[in-house]
Amino acid sequence: MIRKSGFYACILLGAAVAAAGQTRDQNWDNCKADDPDTSIAGCTALIQSGQESTNDLASAYFDRGIAYRDKKEYDLALQDLDQALRVKPDFAGALNTRGNVYSDKGETDRAMADYNDAIRLDPSYALAYYNRGNAWGDKKEWDKAIADYDVYVQKAPTDPDGFNNRGHAYMAKGDYDRALEDFQAALRLDSNHALAIYNTGVTMSDKNEYAQAVTWFTRYIALKPSDPDGYESRGNAYRHQSQYDEAIADYNHSLQVKPDYSLAYYYLGLTHGLDGQYDAAIADLIRYVEMEPKDSDGFAVRGLEYYEEGQYTAAITDFSKALELQPTRQYAFVERGSAHFLAGQTSQAKADFELAIAADSSTSSAVYAALWLHMAKARLHEEGNDELNEVAQKANLSNWPGPVLKFYLGQTTEDDLMAAAADPDPETHVGRACEANFYTGEDALAHQKRTTALARFHAVQGNCIKDYVEYGAALVELKHMAASPAAAAKSTSKP
């Protein structure tokens, strides 16, 4: 390490000596060059000459600070920007750039303080508003970000970045129409503005307009073929349209572009699972959790794939790991509980469903937990309506899966439940119909309506999304029912 630092210093010194042989004008040209090393050498020669005026010396430190930032040598950049401000305390540009360096380092509050000071010194300094808007975005304070972008687009109406960033803030707020207006404004200024194209695709995906999203992501990929995000995002849009082969091809393409792109393995696992290819899904997710061992999502999704394969012990282990990494992951209690339930470990299942409800009885996860707890208590020959009523009092039963809970409480009919499952988004509709069929099948089974239960479970088998816990549970119920057919009716005959 010592030798490396010394060698690095010698290189810089040699460059500075070489730059010292240049004329002052040549050094200034070099100082302001786009190439960071050329800039550092030229600026260093000017700084060491001791012949520059106060303003010019501040500019040399400023330009060298920018070059160090471009090289991601943030501490050196901060040292130079500090020097620029010592020489010239009212240097708004240096404050703005120092704010950018702090932002690069993830020190958002310090960045914000510098942007504030830059604006105080020069209220007309447009870039400080732009960068402060970005800092507000880092803090997820989207209204404040939009307010700063409003000022920026007024001061710099020909810069498409201002419109793109404001559109991103609107998108984050869920105001998709205004987001699209801003992205289109950016594209009118620059028809090949890659981020505006990409963000339009993201917005279309958020609006569940996946076919249009594919079109926009395809356009982005044409501009940025080396960015794995484009393939991953287009793959997600294909996946939501159940175009699994196309999705898998895009995820694999993202890995060709960037072999360590961990998200591709996550989505490959998810898509293989949706397509019923559980072994492939598990293999993908093993790779993902190796690369991202701190992400609870990887363990939870892999747990679902083990669950669908009937490997309940492995599923329980993964759901437990997901909860260890994210104790507030309420639905993981439901997933682990359902694995215990199907493994015949009904008491453990009951405990998990109770934990899910205890975490927050007002959520949709609590509704699912109450439904499964009702089923578990029925198998334990216990009264199971208390939790149904508790959750019903706190959860919003007008939102799915609330109608299922109302059905279990006798407050709505089966026909009404099926009608409530309808949704204009095909993916949502299939998922809700799957759940409605499963839970009405369980209710029919509990009331010894075997024919109805069989029909409901077969409907789940034929039409459900294959990574739903209800799908795996319905297959298990069908196996149990096949193993214990109803007794044949007896009749007498006469000769």
4 pLDDT above the threshold of 50: no
pLDDT band at 22 (very low <50, low <70, confident <90, very high): confident
- Inter-residue contact 474 to 461 (CB < 8 Å): yes
Give SS3 for 105.
Answer: coil
Region 209-221: mean pLDDT is: 98
Taking Cα atoms as reference points, which of 354, 357, 355, 352 lies closest to residue 338?
352
Mean pLDDT of the 205-230 span = 97
Q: Which amino acid, 165? A: N
Q: In sequence order, what are the residues at sequence separation of 6 or more whose Cβ sits closer than 8 angstroms to the Cβ of residue 255?
A: 228, 261, 264, 265
Residue 425 falls within a domain, yes or no? yes
Q: Which of 285, 261, 260 minimizes the C-alpha distance to 271?
A: 285
CB 72 within 8 Å of CB 95:
no
Does residue 214 lie in a domain region?
no
The mean pLDDT value for 423-444 works out to: 93
CA 302 to chain centre: 17
Q: Is residue 469 part of a domain?
A: yes
CA distances to 19, 115, 369, 437 from 420, rounded to whole Å, are 75, 51, 20, 12
Within a domain: 110: no
Flag whether pLDDT at 164 surpasses 90: yes
CA 247 to chain centre: 17
In contact, 322 and 299? CB cutoff 8 Å: yes
Confidence of residue 465 (pLDDT cuts 50, 70, 90): confident
pLDDT over 70, % of the chain: 94
- Residue 22's φ and ψ, nearest 5 degrees, are -80, 165
In a domain, 468, yes or no: yes
Q: For tokens 């287009």, name the residue.
A: 234
In a domain, 338, yes or no: no
What pLDDT band is residue 467 in, cutting at 50, 70 and 90? confident
Which three-class secondary structure string do you get for 283-349?
Answer: HHHHHHHHHCCCCHHHHHHHHHHHHHCCCHHHHHHHHHHHHHHCCCCHHHHHHHHHHHHHCCCHHHH
pLDDT of 221: 98
| Residue 321 within a domain | no
CA distances (Å), origin 258, targets 244, 298, 324, 368: 21, 19, 30, 39
Number of Cβ within 10 Å of residue 493's Cβ equals: 4
Mean pLDDT of 207-222: 97
Predicted pLDDT at 495: 37
Summary mean pLDDT of the chain:
92
Confidence (pLDDT) at 484: 77
Asked if residue 277 lies in contact with residue 268, where contact means CB atoms within 8 angstroms, the answer is no
**Vertex 94 angle, CA 92 and 98, to 5°:** 120
In a domain? residue 442: yes
* Number of structural domains found in the chain: 1
Question: Helices H, strands E: what count in the chain?
Answer: 28, 0
Going by C-alpha positions, the residue among 488, 485, 463 that lies closest to residue 474 is 463
Question: Mean of the pLDDT values across residues 70-97?
Answer: 96
Q: What is the 3-state secondary structure (H, E, C) of 393-408?
A: HHCCCCCCCHHHHHHH
Comparing 15-24, 115-124, 136-145, 235-244, the range with the smallest average pLDDT is 15-24
How far apart are the C-alpha atoms of 45 and 21, rounded to whole Å?
9
Domain that holds residue 441: 417-481
Residue with tokens 């992951």: 329
**pLDDT value for 21:** 58
pLDDT score for 486: 58
Query: Where would I find the H helices in 50-106?
Result: 54-70, 74-87, 92-104
